[in-house]
Amino acid sequence: MFSLSEYLEKNIFHYNEEAFEEELLGYNDFKTPRNNLENKYHLKYLSKYFSKEEQKAEFYLTEHEYISKNYITDYSNYYSTCFEDYKRKCTRIHFFTFYSSQKGAFLNKLKQGILGRKVIVGGKKNNFWEKYYLGFIVINPIPNTFIGYTLFRHYNDFRPDKLREFWGVKRYKIHILGNEITISTLAFHEQDSNVGACATISIWTAFQIASEDYYVNLKSPVEITNDAGLINVDGQRMFPNREGLIPVAICTAVTKNKLVTEVRDFYERSNNSTSPNTNTYVKRLVNAYSGIHLPIILGIDVPENEKRVGHAVAICGHKFKEIGRKLSKDKNGISWKADYTFQIYFHDDQWGPFVRATFRNTNKLETPWSEVKTKDLSGNVEYRNIFTLDEKGVKEIKNGEINYAEVRMVIIPTFPKIRIPYEDIEHHVIGLDKLIKDAVIPLKDILLWDIKLCYSEDFKKKIRDFKISKEDNIDVKYSLVSKSLPKYIWVATLSLRGETDFISFIFDATGLINTRLLLYTYFYIPGIKKGFVNSFRNAYLKNRGMSEYFDIYEELFDKSIMEEDFFI
């Protein structure tokens, strides 16, 4: 029996990349050959993630004999039936950032945290766990694919950035040394091809958030792969899985867990098409569906020496670039907030959580998979992974030929009640954009659209909290927040260059297809509504019978006539 001090002394270590990798072999019960660690992308990723430039890990605490629910389910379904002995229990490793590398100073603060006391740093009282705890990794006692259930705090938790949104996250409870703490994150897991197909983990990740709803189960990788099909696409066995999954199998596994899927593929369109390119379309879909917080499965081709291989990741966040004074416009002359997305964050089971990917031209995506093709003096071709190079190395090879990942398809898990897809709303917004820009010519160059699917309660909260001046118009807000709305709504918001919201058009996301979906129109700026409504009604008589050309016009007019409080 150890005292607390003895226990901590024995189990707290200074984080050092090389020493940590050496220790991992032991935590993994020596099931993985040392040489295999060199090829493990996760360790390369972790060393960057915990570096001084990123999350700044200083110490870690090991917790042996840890029972991981996720691992033990797969253990009982698969590993326990092997001839070789695999342990039931795992090792959990907790990581901490700290202002000093002095172990004594850290232990002092940690003890105060364990006792539930505030720690004083720079004269301010802080909660130890909020200030220093980074998250944990479970090391499973199986060969090679040993990164188990992992929870790491996301970047915004430490360094808030208003241009960056992590929407596919939730609060997870963690119990550590008698303390219950919560962190905002999304669980991560490495793929083990013994118990799962390649895309299994991206589905598992999507279920993390969906399982907050009582009717969606949080299944283990074995259970998800079983749901994907009886046999593989080529007739081969599902376990161990060597051939991978096709998109339809992913959709089957998602649908068997009481969700539904929206699938989009990307292919060349004719030159005179007004459609956006693949990346722009992905940006719009990601932004649109981010409001329901379910991670989105992205199918990409990743480079692997001379070849390209299909891969799936789960998107859980994105980052915008600054919106300048002059708005960018698409081929139809419309400005979209989503088009300002320049990075996405995803869980990549082969690398790690919250992996950054940057959009490049057309369908190209710069991810840790990006490779550079170089030639040595003898003309021999070599492929180098750009992620593993330091800054100097990246500069040196910038002129080389870079093989980016390429976007192939997207699978959006949604709730069955959401029957109206994004494109049906964009269809209406194209009409609304024309109508409004022709009506307010002085503003036409600063109007920016943002289409989002969201819970009506979230939208009501946004309206409640929206303030444009000291004089808050409570009556107007109340007329919207008191309305009965469906659980899921599409909101198309027109803003003035993204600086302030201007008008929101609220559509029923649970409605029937090919029916009228517009529910309300909300004006954020006092005094705008009257002029809008009067002019609109006056113009209507001249435009009667234009539905053949302009269906949203008729819809807007009919709603405004039939429902007195349609304009709010």
Partner 1 sequence: MTKEVQDILEGRKKITFKFVNYNTPERKEELKAVIKAQKEVLERKEVDWQKLNTFIIKR
Residues that bind partner 1 (CB under 8 A): 197-199, 233, 243-248, 250, 263-265, 267, 273-275, 281, 299, 302, 304, 309-312, 325, 331-332, 350, 408-409, 421, 423-424, 426-427, 430-431, 434-435, 438-440, 442-443, 446, 468-469, 496-497, 499-500, 525, 527-528, 531-532, 535-536, 538-539, 542-546, 549-550, 553
Which residue, 396 or 438, has its beta carbon nearer to partner 1? 438
Residue 101's H or E segment, with its range, is: none
Which residue, 50 or 522, has its beta carbon nearer to partner 1? 522
Which residue, 154 or 347, has its beta carbon nearer to partner 1? 347
Closest CB 245 distance from partner 1, rounded Å: 5
Closest CB 523 distance from partner 1, rounded Å: 10
Nearest to 203 by CA among 227, 235, 183: 227
Which residue, 58 or 406, has its beta carbon nearer to partner 1? 406
d(CA 489, CA 474): 22
Closest CB 59 distance from partner 1, rounded Å: 34
Angle between helix 17-27 and 41-49 (nearest 10): 130
d(CA 4, CA 345): 39
Closest CB 321 distance from partner 1, rounded Å: 17
> How many Cβ atoms are within 10 Å of 67's Cβ, its own excluded?
12
Torsion angle (degrees, nearest 10) of CA 158, 183, 345, 244: 150
Q: Which DSSP letter does residue 192 get?
A: -
Interior CA angle at 48 toward 41 and 106, to 5°?
Answer: 125
Which residue, 317 or 421, has its beta carbon nearer to partner 1? 421
Which residues, other chains included, contact 564 with Cβ-Cβ below 8 Å and sequence gap of 6+? none
Which residue, 469 or 482, has its beta carbon nearer to partner 1? 469
Closest CB 388 distance from partner 1, rounded Å: 17
* Side chain identity at residue 75, one-letter code: Y
Give the pair of three-digit tokens for residue 81.
């039936």
Residue 16 φ/ψ, nearest 5 degrees = -140, 125
d(CA 406, CA 383): 17
Closest CB 336 distance from partner 1, rounded Å: 12
Which residue, 21 or 426, has its beta carbon nearer to partner 1? 426
Give the pair of three-digit tokens for residue 38.
């060199």
Closest CB 543 distance from partner 1, rounded Å: 5
Q: Which residues pair with 414 in a beta bridge?
A: 260
Closest CB 557 distance from partner 1, rounded Å: 10
Which residue, 235 or 442, has its beta carbon nearer to partner 1? 442
d(CA 74, CA 221): 7
Q: Is 425 helix (H, G, I), strand (E, B) or coil?
A: helix
Q: Is 60 helix (H, G, I), strand (E, B) or coil?
A: strand
